[in-house]
Structure 1
Amino acid sequence: MTDPRYTTFNTFNAFNTFSGFNSFMKDCAENFGRFHKAADVLAATGKVDVDIGATPKTLVMRRDKVELFRYEPTAERTVETPVLIVYGLIGRYTFLDLQPDRSLVRSLLDKGIDLWLIDWGQPGRGERWLTMDDYVDDYIHEAVQRICRETGHDRVTLLGICEGGVLATCYAALHPEKVKKLVLIVTPIDFHADIDDTAADPGLLNIWTRSLAPEDIDHIVDVLGVIPGEFMGSLFTLMTPMNSLTKYNVDLLEKLADKDKLMNFLRIEKWLADRPDHPGAAGRQWLKELYHENRLVEGSFELSGRVVDLRAIVAPVLNIFALNDHIIPPACSKAFGSKISTTEYKEIGLDCGHVGLFVSSKSQGSLAEIIAAWLKARDE
């Protein structure tokens, strides 16, 4: 005689098996539908150019590989003083103009800003001898002079970003008569301000860079003439290893069926792949004199034979940084306030990361709004 408990167990097990099979088939159907849709999205995307940095602009001046552009206006002028964007040599300015709805450039234009841009081009071994002196006292100075001639103004506003913010700061200190206002975004000023920070992860780039032997930096520059863009790209990738491991599989699968999300992803990847080489001599100064020796805040950083004295900056300063920045620790940016003599200084920390400050939907409107409102309140 069959044990009724055995029959009950078999019935229960069969039900569970059947239920599990149904669930499996349902998942397969949903995934098939998702991948079918993804295939359609990919097929359509293959015919579309992944265009970045596409906001219309006019070439005004070219000097060597460096170009000065003026953006075409999109709204009635609300701020008369021209604004010159100074991006860093590490990366390309196109990051500020990835797409129409995620573009700091377009947002500022829509708020009536007269916007100009320096494009450093693609430096190679031919630019190995260029120093930060050349970029500040030659290229930026010539751009400022040209803007003044074109617009009739005697001063400009500098909008410096990351490494470009350091170049803009140096220019404002050495040429205070040419700078009406200074806006800095995620800019390191005190390169050692993170040393006493109990949270190490935001300063991993600083820790790694300071650990480089000076002779190794010299060896890279002497042999290659540049600090390769691929090398710096790999370094940034290693700073967020889990994101780097998952973005081409788990994260990408989530975006495949959504054309907008997929295009956002591809634009970021295109920008990352377009990382230029860093001129060797300027890179040597950047790594040894600033990251290692912290000369800018120590008052011993020299360009063109002159000490860059931060106390010489007289222009009003707006200093914006990201509170969750893993590349430029907030402390390194905030230190600027105690190093300058101008009485009109304002700093704002936004709750986002280094990249998110420019491309996240959360910060898109607020960043341009903060800058435009601050500029307008101080415009004559």
Structure 2
Amino acid sequence: MTPPLRRGPRPLPLHLSLALNRGMAAVATAPYASTSNGLNAGWPLSKPGQVESQRIGAALAGGRHSPEAFRAAVLRRLARQDRGLISGIAAYRRHPWQRQAAEAPVLWQEGGSRLLDYGGDGVPLLVVPSLVNRAHVLDLLPDHSMLRHLAAQGTRVLLLDWGWPGEAERRFTLTDYIAGRLERALTAPAVAALGPAVLVGYCMGGLLVLAEALRRPDRVRALALLATPWDFAAGGADVAARAQGAARMLPMLEPLLQAQGALPVDVLQALFAGLDPWAIARKFRAFGRLDPADRRATLFVALEDWLNDGVPLAAPVARECLGGWYGRNEPGSGRWQVAGAAVRPEALTLPCFLAIPQADRIVPPASALALAGQIPHAHIHMTPAGHIGMAAGSRAEQALWAPLLQWLSRL
């Protein structure tokens, strides 16, 4: 048997446990002819679970179906889904694809961070990703790369790769990253020689470039914010509750932050998994049905490898994000500060492009739209895609790359 080439999805025990818990909940809510001897007799059901069990029982009785036969059908389906999940994970771990992208030249470097030059001619773009993921999601495959596509279509593309946080970076605050490292990259001689740049921020990177554009408008020609959050309470009661739940985890994570100086990758992955607990199982069951040689399989593996190769988040930044952004909603309430100055989107006088994925589970559209409402004369592009699919999915060129280029051509 071929040994596994990779160890994801991370953290694997969590994803297997979520699939198990879903199955146990399905069994627990299944009605029986007699619960005195049924497997669910001792299960404490939530009120929604009780309502669902009663609904199923009434439907079975109305159709004269046997509750025992229904229970057997549920167990058979759960077994098929479990086999599909394990098969999909095994297929992913043994898939032969390996990343072999050519390394872009380095224009500037500080600590673990590098400014990579993807070439091209035309308006300079300085692209800034999130701090918690590898930057190469924007350069996923040689023939499916947002950065290489933009460079080939009349722009000069630079990427700020934050790198792995070393000893110095683990003491960084958001101010250190924005007013320090990002600003020094923006004002480096190699970048300054190109003239004012368009700052392009993806996800968390959008908040970073927004704050930097307000600090140094003399070095910024325009601003493109891709799936960028702002109001962490917008999007309904469920969204607000999840934000508060993330903030409440901070005291429990504090011993880990103090011991390691960073929030580990697997903890970050677990937090993201909580946004859609069943998504991992669904997508791996679907992947297991693909031909490994199919183009879709290669793209899936490339994206999963990127997701599982995350980056720890410096402890001070983790506290600011979980406590300040999610807990106190400092950006949305106008209280977020960088280097002692409030970040005020309404003060922007630059052209601004905001791409907002309609199927985004990481940044709810309402959160990003709240930012668009603060920026004067913002160009809003709503795209029928998800958070990652917008930038790197199979339809990313139509969803984002082409509309962004059209906007850039009008600058």
| Fold match by TM threshold 0.5 | yes
Look up the match of 1:350: 383
Is residue 2:212 matched to residue 1:171?
Answer: yes
Is residue 2:134 matched to residue 1:58?
Answer: no
Q: Within 5 A, what are the aligned runs for 1:262-277?
A: 262-277=297-312
- State the alpha-carbon separation in 2 of the partners of residues 351 and 252 from structure 1: 22
TM superposition score normalised by structure 2: 0.72
Which deviations, in whole Å up to 9, do the C-alpha atoms of 1:168-187 show, x marking residues without a partner? 11111222222110000000
1:72 is paired with a residue whose SS is coil
Look up the match of 1:87: 129
Look up the match of 2:222: 181
Look up the match of 1:69: 116
The verdict on how the C-alpha distance between 1:107 and 1:299 changes in structure 2, with shifts beyond 3 A counting, is: same
Counterpart amino acid of 2:174? M
Identity value in percent: 25
Tell whether the 8 Å contact from 2:336 to 2:343 is kept in structure 1 after alignment.
Answer: yes
Tell whether the 8 Å contact from 2:206 to 2:226 is kept in structure 1 after alignment.
Answer: yes
Within the candidate set 221, 245, 248, 2:281 is matched to 245
Counterpart amino acid of 1:338? G
Tell whether the 8 Å contact from 1:256 to 1:262 is kept in structure 2 after alignment.
Answer: yes
Is residue 2:352 matched to residue 1:317?
Answer: yes
- Post-superposition offset of 1:55: 5.2
- State the alpha-carbon separation in 1 of the partners of residues 227 and 303 from structure 2: 19
- State the alpha-carbon separation in 2 of the partners of residues 126 and 288 from structure 1: 22
Within the candidate set 257, 266, 280, 2:315 is matched to 280
- Post-superposition offset of 1:222: 2.0
- State the alpha-carbon separation in 2 of the partners of residues 239 and 310 from structure 1: 27
Look up the match of 1:110: 152
Tell whether the 8 Å contact from 1:57 to 1:69 is kept in structure 2 after alignment.
Answer: yes
Count, aligned residues: 323
Look up the match of 1:227: 263
1:128 is paired with a residue whose SS is helix
TM superposition score normalised by structure 1: 0.77
Counterpart amino acid of 2:118? Y
Counterpart amino acid of 1:50? Q
- State the alpha-carbon separation in 2 of the partners of residues 169 and 118 from structure 1: 15
Look up the match of 1:146: 188
Counterpart amino acid of 2:161? D
Tell whether the 8 Å contact from 2:384 to 2:399 is kept in structure 1 after alignment.
Answer: no
- State the alpha-carbon separation in 2 of the partners of residues 296 and 192 from structure 1: 10
Question: For structure 1, which segment, 361-370 or 320-329, has the greater mean C-alpha deviation from structure 2 after superposition?
Answer: 361-370
- Post-superposition offset of 1:69: 1.2
Question: For structure 1, which segment, 93-102 or 215-224, has the greater mean C-alpha deviation from structure 2 after superposition?
Answer: 215-224
Look up the match of 2:66: none
- Post-superposition offset of 1:329: 0.3
Is residue 2:201 matched to residue 1:160?
Answer: yes
- State the alpha-carbon separation in 2 of the partners of residues 213 and 51 from structure 1: 35
Is residue 2:395 matched to residue 1:362?
Answer: yes
Tell whether the 8 Å contact from 1:86 to 1:165 is kept in structure 2 after alignment.
Answer: yes
- State the alpha-carbon separation in 1 of the partners of residues 228 and 140 from structure 2: 21
Is residue 2:255 matched to residue 1:208?
Answer: no
Counterpart amino acid of 2:273? T
- State the alpha-carbon separation in 1 of the partners of residues 191 and 282 from structure 2: 50
- Post-superposition offset of 1:147: 5.7
**Relative contact order higher in (CA < 8 Å, ≥ 6 apart):** 1
Tell whether the 8 Å contact from 2:123 to 2:156 is kept in structure 1 after alignment.
Answer: yes
Question: For structure 1, which segment, 361-370 or 163-172, has the greater mean C-alpha deviation from structure 2 after superposition?
Answer: 361-370
The verdict on how the C-alpha distance between 1:261 and 1:363 changes in structure 2, with shifts beyond 3 A counting, is: closer
Which deviations, in whole Å up to 9, do the C-alpha atoms of 1:154-175 show, x marking residues without a partner? x211000000001011111222
Which deviations, in whole Å up to 9, do the C-alpha atoms of 1:349-373 show, x marking residues without a partner? 1111112212333332341111111
Structure with bigger gyration radius: 1
- State the alpha-carbon separation in 2 of the partners of residues 127 and 317 from structure 1: 30
- Post-superposition offset of 1:218: 3.7
Which deviations, in whole Å up to 9, do the C-alpha atoms of 1:258-290 show, x marking residues without a partner? 342332222122112210101111111111111
The verdict on how the C-alpha distance between 1:218 and 1:356 changes in structure 2, with shifts beyond 3 A counting, is: same
> In angstroms, what is the RMSD of aligned CA positions?
2.7
The verdict on how the C-alpha distance between 1:215 and 1:231 changes in structure 2, with shifts beyond 3 A counting, is: closer
Counterpart amino acid of 2:268? M
- State the alpha-carbon separation in 1 of the partners of residues 299 and 161 from structure 2: 23
- State the alpha-carbon separation in 1 of the partners of residues 178 and 141 from structure 2: 29
- State the alpha-carbon separation in 2 of the partners of residues 349 and 149 from structure 1: 31
Tell whether the 8 Å contact from 2:263 to 2:314 is kept in structure 1 after alignment.
Answer: yes
Runs of 4 or more, structure 1, over 6 Å off, are none
Tell whether the 8 Å contact from 1:174 to 1:312 is kept in structure 2 after alignment.
Answer: no
- State the alpha-carbon separation in 2 of the partners of residues 345 and 116 from structure 1: 23
- State the alpha-carbon separation in 2 of the partners of residues 347 and 236 from structure 1: 26
The verdict on how the C-alpha distance between 1:314 and 1:266 changes in structure 2, with shifts beyond 3 A counting, is: same
Counterpart amino acid of 2:137? F
